């Protein structure tokens, strides 16, 4: 359960740490809150050794439009050269990374017992062949993504802080709090359905830096 809270917290920290600071500005302050619903899946095929994973999240920060994001991928061992005489076969991995995001919709009940998110986004696919060292990239446009979650546990609360200092030069610190409920549900990705586990909740943050 704690890992789900950390997922929510990580989203906040990434958002606040990436906030822009204009040229010449010596002090920066930011604060806000957002509703979020997130669900992921993974699977391992013992026969082929293939592993696949995916994660879909809906995010709606106060005063901003809702956003839907997906990332996932797979990897499996492939044969680079067959066994020959006393020489064993050589192998490597075929790795696939998929990611994308864009405007969408997010609906969450007041007590975080249900949530749904959807959007039509472009998804990039990067493939790396460990045998040949070849890298390829492609994009699928207009992929329909939908997430449906139902609460599956008690509410949990989490808070944390982050700070960085160089005495007399830089002083930065961030704080976050999250309230969330573990959840189960389904994801539809371009018509392909997956059972998922995740969380429904709200995060709040404040960030300060000067120097």
As a whole-number percent, the residues of the chain with pLDDT over 70 amount to 88
The mean of the pLDDT values for the chain is: 87
Task: Name the token pair of 172.
Answer: 């930065």
Q: Is residue 49 part of a domain?
A: yes
Q: 86-102 pLDDT, tens per residue? A: 888 899 999 999 999 99
Q: Is residue 24 part of a domain?
A: no
Q: Is residue 71 part of a domain?
A: yes
Q: Is residue 119 part of a domain?
A: yes
Q: Is residue 168 part of a domain?
A: yes
Q: What is the mean pLDDT of residues 107-115?
A: 95
Q: Is residue 158 part of a domain?
A: yes
Whether the CB-CB separation of 160 and 178 falls below 8 Å is answered with: no
From residue 14, give the alpha-carbon distance in Å to each of 11, 97, 107, 170. Answer: 5, 20, 23, 19
Alpha carbon distance 16, 35 (integer Å): 15
Alpha carbon distance 102, 66 (integer Å): 9
Domains in the chain: how many in total? 1
Alpha carbon distance 103, 106 (integer Å): 10
Q: What is the DSSP letter of 24?
A: T
Q: What is the dihedral of CA 98, 104, 109, 115, to 10 degrees?
A: -30
As a whole-number percent, the residues of the chain with pLDDT over 90 amount to 66
Domain that residue 64 falls in: 2-19+29-210
pTM flag (> 0.85)? no
Look at residue 23 in the predicted model and tell me its pLDDT. 44
Task: Name the token pair of 206.
Answer: 């404040």
Residues β-bridged to residue 182: 199
| pLDDT greater than 90 at residue 154 | yes
Q: Is residue 153 part of a domain?
A: yes
Question: Smallest Cα–Cα separation from 211: which of 16, 4, 21?
Answer: 21
Q: Is residue 108 part of a domain?
A: yes
Q: 114-152 pLDDT, tens per residue? A: 999 999 999 999 999 999 999 999 999 999 999 999 999
């Amino acid at each position: 359960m704690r890992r789900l809270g950390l997922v929510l917290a990580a989203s906040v920290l990434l958002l606040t740490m990436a906030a822009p600071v204009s040229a010449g500005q010596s002090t920066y302050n930011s604060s806000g809150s957002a509703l979020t619903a997130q669900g992921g899946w993974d699977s391992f095929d013992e026969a082929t050794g293939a592993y696949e994973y995916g994660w879909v999240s809906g995010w709606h920060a106060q005063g901003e439009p809702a956003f839907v994001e997906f990332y996932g991928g797979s990897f499996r061992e492939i044969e680079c050269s067959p066994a020959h005489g006393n020489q064993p076969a050589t192998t490597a991995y075929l790795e696939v990374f998929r990611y994308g995001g864009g405007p969408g919709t997010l609906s969450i009940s007041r007590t975080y017992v249900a949530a749904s998110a959807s959007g039509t986004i472009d998804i990039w696919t990067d493939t790396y062949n460990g045998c040949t060292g070849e890298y390829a990239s492609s994009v699928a446009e207009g992929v329909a993504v939908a997430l449906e979650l139902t609460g599956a546990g008690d509410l949990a609360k989490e808070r944390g802080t982050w700070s960085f200092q160089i005495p007399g030069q830089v002083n930065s610190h961030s704080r976050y709090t999250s309230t969330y409920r573990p959840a189960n549900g389904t994801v539809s990705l371009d018509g392909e359905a997956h059972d998922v586990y995740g969380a429904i909740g709200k995060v709040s943050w404040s960030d300060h830096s000067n120097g």
